[in-house]
Chains A and B, each alone.
Chain A
Amino acid sequence: MTSPSVSVESVTKRFSGHTAVNKLSLDVYPGGIFGLLGPNGAGKSTTIRLIMGILEPDQGKVSLFGSSDGSRKLSARIGYLPEERGLYKKMKVLDHLIFLGETKGISRGDARRRALAWLERLGIADWALKKVEDLSKGMQQKVQFAGALLHDPDLVILDEPFSGLDPVNAQVMKDIVVGIAKAGRTVLFSTHVMEQAERMCDRIAIIARGETVVSGTVAQVKADFGGRHVALGFSHDRERATAILADPRLIARVDDYGASAELKMADGADPEQLLAALVREGVGLRRFEVVEPSLQAIFIAKVGADPAAIPLPAGVAA
């Protein structure tokens, strides 16, 4: 087996008494997209900063491409988009990209050519000679994105790359990320948006409170989670379903979205029983589908941090 592009071995990082990352381990193998998932404050950014060598771990070891030289020596092979976007506000977009390219060790002429190509690709070529501060936030993010990818890195590390983007731009960025992975390079990105991770990632690690909760390929994680899941869509008389959804003999867990819900069936309960019960009560259904558990559902079940989920009444469950 090839050595992992990123290997984090039992790393711990504390900040003045509070442990941000606790004995966390993960391996990112070359090729494909690796999703680092977790709620806010789970330690995603800290983990990424540890990988980038921006922070030093208190314990444990980080190696990149099988070497522990640190990201700075290998910076020509790594592209990094930090969570906190930062650009020199007064610089012109093109100059800025050229400078970022130079800090990665590519020549000025080369950097200029690549910067222009990227600006073209991201649809902001007209802004090349404008100052960064004149750009909208979304455009600035694109510029920074281009800066991280300018030197064709083998490993791309993106911290919340899609946050703050409108759907059109998010789509553009997603296509680029998928393209990078298809070209055989490795992408590691963090997000708290599960739908995105589910559609894009080959492998994921869910972390919470600085520890790994689940990791593996998406299929594997879903299979391990087990159980039978039903996705419901309501068209009318939603309130008549309330009693059925609260029945612990039928349903183990509800992830309620109002007009729709994702359910985990109780052990021994049958989806057909549920459908019959709902029809009997006269609940208007738009959708009734037996599904794989979504990452969202797994995430909520494992982390239990999503306030949108309805907790089961404790007395009934007992």
Chain B
Amino acid sequence: MKKIFAVIRREFVERVRTKAFVISTVLLPVFMVLMVLLPGLMMSGGDRTRNVAVVDASGGGLGQPVGKVLEAATFGDAEGAKPRYRVQVFPADAASLAQVRDGLIAKTGFAKGRQHDGWDGVLVLADNTLASGKLTYYGDNVTSPESMSRLRRDVSEALAGVRLAKSGVDQALVSKAMAPADLDTTKVSDGKLTGQSGKASFMIAYFMGFVLYLATLIYGQQTMTSVIEEKTSRIMEVLTSSLTPFQMLLGKVLGVGLAGLTQMAIWVGSAFVLGSQGARLAGAFGVSAEAARSFAIPGIAPSLLVVFLLYFALGFLLYGALYAAIGAMCNTIQETQQYAIFVTMFVLVGFFAVFALIKDPTGTLGVTMSYIPFFSPFTMPVRWSMTSVPLLQLCVSLALMVLALLACVWLAARIYRTGILMYGKKPSWGELWRWIRA
């Protein structure tokens, strides 16, 4: 036991001390801060009031009501929010339409301070607009889907209002009837409200899957590489004379795992700090709090955290042991790829299953996959976060996971025992089988 601890300590300390570890540990939180700030910074350009010229060639005075609706549109619902459009109506008839329109278009696209009387866009109402709903918009922001759908909605609202008013419906009733639905979603678990929105559950599920995927691949490969290094530096020979293969394997996987967990803890910790302090941080960088909130990191329920950590630890050890065994079988990193691809494939399948699960967390696929030990570390926390998983299912899945872990460590230790001192030739599958049986 003391010897395993010595191995764990060595693996942990030597890994945490490397520059690569320190840099990657610091870089991700920096990246996360940027993720919070960037959308805010980018969106801060998006809430500019646009100058829109409305060319009214409808002949029916459509310009005024459209202009009014557009002027009433604001960014957000708050009192005194910024208006979306600054509108000016240009009356025209069928004969002068082209001339007026082209004159305005010539001044369009300069609005960002270069030409003060310039336009951001020109909205042309033709004589058949009211009947057919067809109209044209010329602008510099036509490629922005959000601006365009907003504009379409605002114009539709104006047209609907005019049509209804023409049929004799009261204007006040029209605006009441046109009030949009506002859908808020909240997750229910075990008949209780969890206080999480649907979007938040998705974010957590995705984030957890991603963290495990990343950690398994990075640290699994590191375990493999360090076994190879021990083989090529021949330190293995000294170690085998005082440590059992099991001690070496377990110590290595746990030591590397612990280093990985430390890094994850720092990352997750900084994500939480960002989540709770993101708005304040954004403020410090001159970004509106509202914009920053669009990338808020949601809080995580304690039960989910426990489930996640359990599966994370088990999954990590399972894959770590497999990668270590592959390292023991091979002599160079290049050689390992041939075997590692199988393990990596399991990780990939597990990770991509998360996307299928997010659509249908209670389906057969999801339930089956949360029983298979190689996939359950990815799928079970996701199911737990999105639906309510029966406790029995959780226990069975965990028990299977523990059994698989023991089997894998046993298997890996068998391979390790023979493999770590094999130099030169790569074993065939038949030889591998003999190592395991021996």
Contact = CB atoms under 8 A, between A and B. Distances in A.
A105 B234 CA distance: 21
Contact of A103 (B3, B234, B236): B3
Contacts of B22: none
A146 interface: no
Given A55-B421, A82-B234, A88-B10, 9 more contacts: A54-B241, A71-B241, A80-B241, A84-B237, A87-B233, A88-B230, A88-B235, A95-B10, A104-B242
A87 B235 contact: yes
A258 interface: no
B238 A80 contact: yes
19 contacts: A49-B237, A53-B241, A54-B240, A54-B421, A71-B241, A72-B241, A75-B242, A80-B241, A84-B237, A85-B234, A86-B233, A88-B235, A90-B14, A95-B10, A102-B2, A102-B6, A103-B239, A103-B242, A105-B3
B148 interface: no
A99 B240 CA distance: 14
B354 to A, nearest CB: 36
A78 interface: yes
B261 to A, nearest CB: 21
A100 B241 contact: no
A147 interface: yes
A148 to B, nearest CB: 8
Interface string A78-115: 10101011111111000100011011110000000000
B14 A105 contact: no
A251 interface: no
Contacts, number: 65
B175 interface: no
Contacts of B240: 54, 72
Most buried by B among A54, A55, A86: A86
A29 to B, nearest CB: 22
Given A72-B243, A87-B233, A90-B14, A147 B6 contact: no
A52 interface: yes
Contacts of B6: 99, 102-103
Given A52-B241, A54-B241, A54-B421, A86 B234 contact: yes
B415 to A, nearest CB: 16
A82 to B, nearest CB: 4
A311 B14 CA distance: 56
Main secondary structure of the interface of B (DSSP, over half): helix
B237 A86 contact: yes
Given A54-B421, A88-B14, A91-B14, A103 B237 contact: no
Interface in A133-160: 144, 147-148
Contacts of B243: 72, 103
Contacts of B13: 95
A100 B238 contact: yes
Contacts of B244: 72
Nearest to B237: A82
Contacts of B18: 90
A54 B241 CA distance: 7
Contact of B242 (A72, A84, A85): A72
A99 B8 CA distance: 11
Interface residues of B, number: 22
10 nearest A-B pairs in the assembled complex, by CB-CB distance: A86-B234, A102-B6, A86-B235, A75-B242, A84-B234, A82-B237, A103-B242, A86-B233, A80-B241, A99-B10
A318 B354 CA distance: 87
A88 B233 contact: yes
Given A54-B421, A91-B14, A86 B3 contact: no
B238 A82 contact: yes
Contact of A54 (B3, B10, B237): B237
Contacts of B237: 49, 54, 82, 84, 86
A78 B238 contact: no
Nearest to B233: A86
Interface in B11-70: 13-14, 18
Nearest to B247: A103
A89 B233 contact: yes
A99 B10 CA distance: 7
Interface in B232-271: 233-244
A111 B83 CA distance: 74
B11 to A, nearest CB: 10
A78 B14 contact: no
Interface string A51-87: 0111100000000000000011001001010101111
A191 to B, nearest CB: 18
A233 B301 CA distance: 90
Nearest to A147: B238
A114 B2 CA distance: 19
Contacts of B7: 103
A137 B239 CA distance: 20
A271 B394 CA distance: 93
Contacts of B10: 88, 91, 95, 99
Nearest to B420: A54
Contacts of A147: 238
A105 B244 CA distance: 13
A147 B421 CA distance: 20
Given A72-B241, A72-B242, A80-B241, A86 B236 contact: yes
Given A54-B421, A102-B2, A78 B241 contact: yes
Contacts of B236: 86
Given A88-B14, A99-B6, A105-B3, A75 B234 contact: no
A87 B10 CA distance: 13
Interface in A143-186: 144, 147-148
A158 to B, nearest CB: 12
A54 B237 CA distance: 7
Contacts of A53: 241
Nearest to B232: A86
A54 B6 CA distance: 21
B238 to A, nearest CB: 6
Contacts of B235: 86-88
A55 B420 CA distance: 11
Contacts of B421: 54-55
A55 B243 CA distance: 14
Contacts of A86: 230, 233-238
A78 B233 CA distance: 22
A102 B3 contact: yes
Contacts of A100: 238
A90 B3 CA distance: 21
Interface in B111-161: none
B2 A75 contact: no
A99 B13 CA distance: 11
A72 B10 CA distance: 20
A13 to B, nearest CB: 13
